[in-house]
Chain A
Amino acid sequence: LAGPPSPPGQDPHGWRVPVDCVRANELCAAEPSCSSRYRTLRQCLAGRDRNTMLANKECQAALEVLQESPLYDCRCKRGMKKELQCLQIYWSIHLGLTEGEEFYEASPYEPVTSRLSDIFRLASIFSGMDPATNSKSNHCLDAAKACNLNDNCKRLRSGYISTCSKEISATEHCSRRKCHKALRQFFDRVPSEYTYRLLFCSCKDQACAERRRQTIVPSCSYEDKEKPNCLDLRNTCRTDHLCRSRLADFHTNCQASFQSLTSCPGDNYQACLGSYAGLIGFDMTPNYVDASTTSITISPWCSCKGSGNMEEECEKFLRDFTENPCLRNAIQAFGNGTDVNLSP
């Protein structure tokens, strides 16, 4: 049997630390038995029907062997080298094994262990001020200033802003594809102490909230002529490995639960905010729906109009953005500069 070459490590929380799929694929390729089984399994899954697959002895055997291999538990890292290749390997196994279309899919990304407090620590070193102190200032403006003082942040921010506001012709207001790409680069390559401050700054007046809403240049990256149905949009997103992974990550880290004080899984605000930012620049790009200072409402650009008998499911999907206590608490906590105190 192709066992893992080294026992997977343990991190302080007692979670297994998985190996990434690109590495796991290399390990598997070096093992004749593993690589042939992996090929077999991929052929089995190509038929895309789990039950017929499981009925086949050969497929069953391949599956059992691979359950022991590092491929089976492998994950990917956000913004890693060869991220797309890693996700392709991940979904090549998981797409056929999960039973069809599930409402929530498990995230292919490694769990986030850093906390918001780490960001605050960094941010206060950078800016020399505690975001919670001065109540008079416009936090979103401060965030833009802080970004402009950092070469990397400034370069990538002006990069996406100019790309997203470049008019192409009288009919085509901008190139959405290029704008999304530039936004993804910004959120992948700029440290979160800058990007979160721009995205999740807290506001007391409308001008500030409008600036916050405008952060991702919504007229190009978010709004569209028509609002598609949310289930249709989800379907479009799921045909793309990257978008699908980011959406699964959002569902994994921001899914509201009654089990915890903060409504967030594992009380980890940082993980939820990170997976929210990870959706920006894809079909499922979320944003603030208005410049209201009292209530924060977030939504992708879609509605549940025309859902027919799937309205319940559609509204459930949309509510994870619009009425999600975990996401709301996480954004407010970041704005106030507070984090959950974890008792060690």
Chain B
Amino acid sequence: VSAFGLYFPRKEYSENVYIEQPAGTPLLRIHALRDSHGEAAHFHLCQNLVISRARSHENHWFQIREKTGLLYLSKSLDREDFNMLSVGNWMPLSKVMLYVFLSSHPFQEKECDSATRTTVFLSLINATAPACSSLTARQLCFTEMDLSFHIKENKPPGTFHQLQLPSVHHLCQNLSISYKLLAAEGMPFRYNENTTGVSVTQRLDREERERYELIAKCTVREGFREMQVEVPFLVNVLDEDDSPPFLPNGTDTADAVVEFNRKEGTVLATLTVYDADTTPIYPLESSRKKYTGTIITDDPWISETFRVEHIFDEIHFSPNGSQVRGTRHEYKLVLNKSISVTEHRSFQLDVLVNDTEFHGPERSVILHFNVSILPVSIQFPNMTYQFTVNRNAERFAQIGKICIENCMKFRGVNITYKLLSPSVSCYPVSVLQGREDKYGSLYVNDSSVLHRPECKEIQYTIQATDKQSRKHTKTLLTIVLEGTLLKKEEDCPDSCAVSKHHAECEECGGLGVLTGRCQWRQGSGKGITTNYSTCTPSIKTCPDGTCDVVESKDPAVCPQDCTSGNIIGGHGKGIGNLGIKSGHGICYCFPRQNCYCEKDDIKEQLCDDVCKTVI
């Protein structure tokens, strides 16, 4: 945004220049629009022509009329000039660039640092100017560039384009070329037949309409022949901050409840503010600064514990039928740090939203969040845990899970589980907890204890502790051993996953089995599927697509979920390249080595009745 308000309605202009066009040939007309009444535009050219590839050359050939903006040739370009200006250009068509500057007062010095400039591209055509008869109607009427303009809203009216091409008009005096602006009824634009100028007749409002699509029609008459060309004529209305923020349906209050989810970064509530102005997401930072949201508080605890996140995106309004872009701002109340389970308070938190570039009285709105922070209790459900364990269970057999009330809903609360063992001699089980787990997994840690007849019913105390507040709770856990000891099979591998066949799988035990025998999972057998056939210590936990904390203790427990080695055969790997997510046929593994997925040799009948008759 420049200090003065004159501006160009186009970013670029273009025209062709031919060899040895005479000095005085007009090339094109440039217009400027005003910001306030009484401004007068002064145009001037920079001293240098920019040739492609960073070359520049002093401008000896082009000049612009300071008052009217007419760019013309002040000196004819000969072949030598052409060659010099085309050096380093390997494209068939070479272009030079000129910058035209704009000021509201006559230029004192010929300096080139005004922020308001437009670019003129001159294509150097390596030929003399064509005869009028050889030009098509399209070339006589319009340049190659689209007729597309931008006009700022809320600015005084003015002329912003001339349809007639000065160069053609100069060259082809005997042709009659006339223009018309179609589809302009009821639109704030006027075409002046005498000057072929197009002007905007009133102040525009982008929030009413931001695009005008007209048609420029050109008629060329040569004796009795008449040719017509039509091209689109577009006007975009540029936005300025002239609308205050407003609340959809007047909603300025939201409830924010903190209960089980107390983690830093949690979004508690969102309130929306609309604005009819556009907000560019590029460059993002400046837009963020334009629209601010600040928590109004002098309580340091509140400003430490909460923050406001502001995101915005583009939405469309439809005033009187046309689509207009606007902005939806979302202000999210976010936890800035995890809140302790003991915290208990409620209060109203106000956020001041400020549209800093709007210059009216209603530039800000206040959003209210009714915050209630509820304490959560750390306690086990009202019962004691009881699990039965088969005496034939092997090490790493998973018995069950322990979890305090609502533990799966917790976020940002770290609970750790511990077994306090009373009896000294019998304790076959331990508890393990993954880094992200909210529950504890009970598993067999010492299977030899299960074989001892004196251990029948073992009582433990489980303790759950919240890391942050050190609050803890206890309950009783009873482990009942059941079943009779089976004789162990000879030469069984220690991992169930090694078995390839249904029969051998269920004959053996292995790490992690619950009842002394591995289990066979029969897959669907359709191509590469997640439901592949395999032998596992427990179908409930393996393979289930996650390498849980007990399985990861020993690679022999469940390589189907945990292997990071090679998998040979048709397969798909699991998340993070661990385990076999899907496989073809039967998948079996040698722990710490390879896994294999393959179709079992199907013993089909060699010949059925149909084939016998053929033979």
A232→B577 contact, CB < 8 A? no
Stretch of B49-57, B379-387, B442-450 lying at the A interface: B49-57
A82 on the interface (CB 8 Å rule)? no
B236→A167 contact, CB < 8 A? no
A144 on the interface (CB 8 Å rule)? no
Query: What does DSSP make chain B's interface, helix, strand, loop or mixed?
Result: loop
Query: Please, which residue of chain B has its CB at the minimum distance from the CB of A173?
Result: B575
A311: which B residues are within 8 A, CB to CB?
236
A305→B314 contact, CB < 8 A? yes
**A67-B55, A97-B54, A106-B53 as given contacts; A309 in contact with B280, CB under 8 Å:** yes
Cβ contacts A300-323/B at 8 Å (1 or 0 each): 000001111111110000000000
Task: Point out which of A167, A169, A265, A305 has the most chain B C-beta atoms below 10 A from its C-beta.
Answer: A167
Minimum Cβ distance to chain A for residue B96 (Å): 13
A169→B99 contact, CB < 8 A? no
* Docked complex: A251-265 residues within 8 A CB-CB of B: 252, 257-259, 265
B144: which A residues are within 8 A, CB to CB?
258
Query: Please, which residue of chain A has its CB at the minimum distance from the CB of B93?
Result: A259
B90: which A residues are within 8 A, CB to CB?
15-16, 111
Query: Please, which residue of chain A has its CB at the minimum distance from the CB of B148?
Result: A312
Minimum Cβ distance to chain A for residue B538 (Å): 23
A170: which B residues are within 8 A, CB to CB?
575-576
Q: What's the Cα separation between A15 and B89 when bound, in Å?
A: 8
**A265-B91, A310-B280 as given contacts; A51 in contact with B54, CB under 8 Å:** no
Q: What's the Cα separation between A307 and B280 when bound, in Å?
A: 5
A167→B577 contact, CB < 8 A? yes
B91→A308 contact, CB < 8 A? no
B573→A306 contact, CB < 8 A? no
**A232-B284, A235-B282, A258-B144 as given contacts; A99 in contact with B50, CB under 8 Å:** yes
A231 on the interface (CB 8 Å rule)? yes
Minimum Cβ distance to chain B for residue A95 (Å): 9
A166→B577 contact, CB < 8 A? yes
**A16-B90, A313-B11 as given contacts; A106 in contact with B282, CB under 8 Å:** no
B91→A306 contact, CB < 8 A? no
A98 on the interface (CB 8 Å rule)? yes
Q: What's the Cα separation between A16 and B94 when bound, in Å?
A: 14
Q: What's the Cα separation between A265 and B283 when bound, in Å?
A: 32
A94 on the interface (CB 8 Å rule)? yes
**A170-B575, A232-B281 as given contacts; A265 in contact with B92, CB under 8 Å:** yes
Number of interface residues of B (CB under 8 A): 38
**A15-B90, A266-B91, A312-B150 as given contacts; A305 in contact with B53, CB under 8 Å:** no
B238 on the interface (CB 8 Å rule)? yes
B287: which A residues are within 8 A, CB to CB?
308
Interface size class for chain A? Answer: 35 or more
B248 on the interface (CB 8 Å rule)? no
B150→A306 contact, CB < 8 A? no
**A16-B90, A97-B54, A232-B281 as given contacts; A306 in contact with B577, CB under 8 Å:** no
Q: What's the Cα separation between A339 and B279 when bound, in Å?
A: 46
Minimum Cβ distance to chain B for residue A334 (Å): 22
A266→B576 contact, CB < 8 A? no
B506: which A residues are within 8 A, CB to CB?
none
* Docked complex: B298-326 residues within 8 A CB-CB of A: 313-314
A333 on the interface (CB 8 Å rule)? no
B112 on the interface (CB 8 Å rule)? yes
Residue in contact with A306 in the complex, picked from B56, B99, B314, B574, CB distance below 8 Å: B314
B53→A73 contact, CB < 8 A? yes
Q: What's the Cα separation between A11 and B94 when bound, in Å?
A: 18
Query: Please, which residue of chain B has its CB at the minimum distance from the CB of A231?
Result: B282
**A98-B54, A167-B575, A167-B577 as given contacts; A232 in contact with B282, CB under 8 Å:** yes
Compute the total of residue contacts between A and B using a CB distance below 8 Å.
88
A168 on the interface (CB 8 Å rule)? yes
Residue in contact with B278 in the complex, picked from A72, A97, A259, A308, CB distance below 8 Å: A308
Minimum Cβ distance to chain A for residue B265 (Å): 14
Q: What's the Cα separation between A219 and B215 when bound, in Å?
A: 42
A15: which B residues are within 8 A, CB to CB?
90
Q: What's the Cα separation between A57 and B573 when bound, in Å?
A: 66
B113 on the interface (CB 8 Å rule)? yes
Cβ contacts B206-235/A at 8 Å (1 or 0 each): 000000000000000000000000000000
Q: What's the Cα separation between A93 and B88 when bound, in Å?
A: 15
B279→A308 contact, CB < 8 A? yes
* Docked complex: A218-266 residues within 8 A CB-CB of B: 229, 231-232, 235, 252, 257-259, 265-266
A312→B313 contact, CB < 8 A? no
B239 on the interface (CB 8 Å rule)? yes
Residue in contact with A168 in the complex, picked from B112, B238, B280, B576, CB distance below 8 Å: B576
A252: which B residues are within 8 A, CB to CB?
91
A306→B576 contact, CB < 8 A? no
* Docked complex: B68-94 residues within 8 A CB-CB of A: 87-88, 90-93
B112: which A residues are within 8 A, CB to CB?
51
Residue in contact with A309 in the complex, picked from B52, B53, B88, B238, CB distance below 8 Å: B238
A307: which B residues are within 8 A, CB to CB?
280-282
**A99-B99, A167-B576, A258-B144 as given contacts; A308 in contact with B53, CB under 8 Å:** no
A312→B236 contact, CB < 8 A? yes
B282→A93 contact, CB < 8 A? no
* Docked complex: B112-167 residues within 8 A CB-CB of A: 112-113, 144, 148, 150
Residue in contact with B282 in the complex, picked from A51, A72, A98, A229, CB distance below 8 Å: A229
Q: What's the Cα separation between A245 and B93 when bound, in Å?
A: 21
Residue in contact with B575 in the complex, picked from A51, A169, A259, A266, CB distance below 8 Å: A169
B99: which A residues are within 8 A, CB to CB?
99
Q: What's the Cα separation between A54 and B111 when bound, in Å?
A: 12
B279: which A residues are within 8 A, CB to CB?
306, 308
Query: Please, which residue of chain B has its CB at the minimum distance from the CB of A15?
Result: B90
Residue in contact with A106 in the complex, picked from B52, B87, B573, B574, CB distance below 8 Å: B52
**A99-B99, A258-B144 as given contacts; A16 in contact with B88, CB under 8 Å:** yes
Minimum Cβ distance to chain B for residue A309 (Å): 5
Q: What's the Cα separation between A16 and B574 when bound, in Å?
A: 56
A229→B281 contact, CB < 8 A? yes
Query: Please, which residue of chain A has its CB at the minimum distance from the CB of B88?
Result: A73
A67: which B residues are within 8 A, CB to CB?
55
**A94-B54, A99-B99, A235-B282 as given contacts; A305 in contact with B91, CB under 8 Å:** no
B113: which A residues are within 8 A, CB to CB?
51
Task: Point out which of A67, A307, A312 has the most chain B C-beta atoms below 10 A from its C-beta.
Answer: A312
Q: What's the Cα separation between A24 and B52 when bound, in Å?
A: 19
Q: What's the Cα separation between A167 and B572 when bound, in Å?
A: 11
Query: Please, which residue of chain B has its CB at the minimum distance from the CB of A233?
Result: B282
Q: What's the Cα separation between A212 and B504 when bound, in Å?
A: 47
A97: which B residues are within 8 A, CB to CB?
54, 56
Query: Please, which residue of chain B has its CB at the minimum distance from the CB of A73?
Result: B88
A94→B282 contact, CB < 8 A? no
B314→A93 contact, CB < 8 A? no
14 contacting pairs across A/B (C-beta < 8 A):
A16-B88, A72-B88, A73-B88, A93-B54, A97-B54, A229-B280, A232-B283, A266-B91, A306-B279, A306-B282, A308-B239, A308-B278, A308-B281, A309-B278
Q: A72-B53, A265-B92, A309-B239 are in contact. List 12 more A-B contacts (CB 8 A).
A: A73-B88, A106-B52, A167-B573, A167-B576, A170-B575, A229-B280, A231-B282, A265-B91, A306-B313, A306-B314, A308-B280, A310-B282
8 closest Cβ contacts across the A-B interface? A308-B280, A97-B54, A306-B281, A232-B282, A15-B90, A229-B282, A308-B278, A306-B314
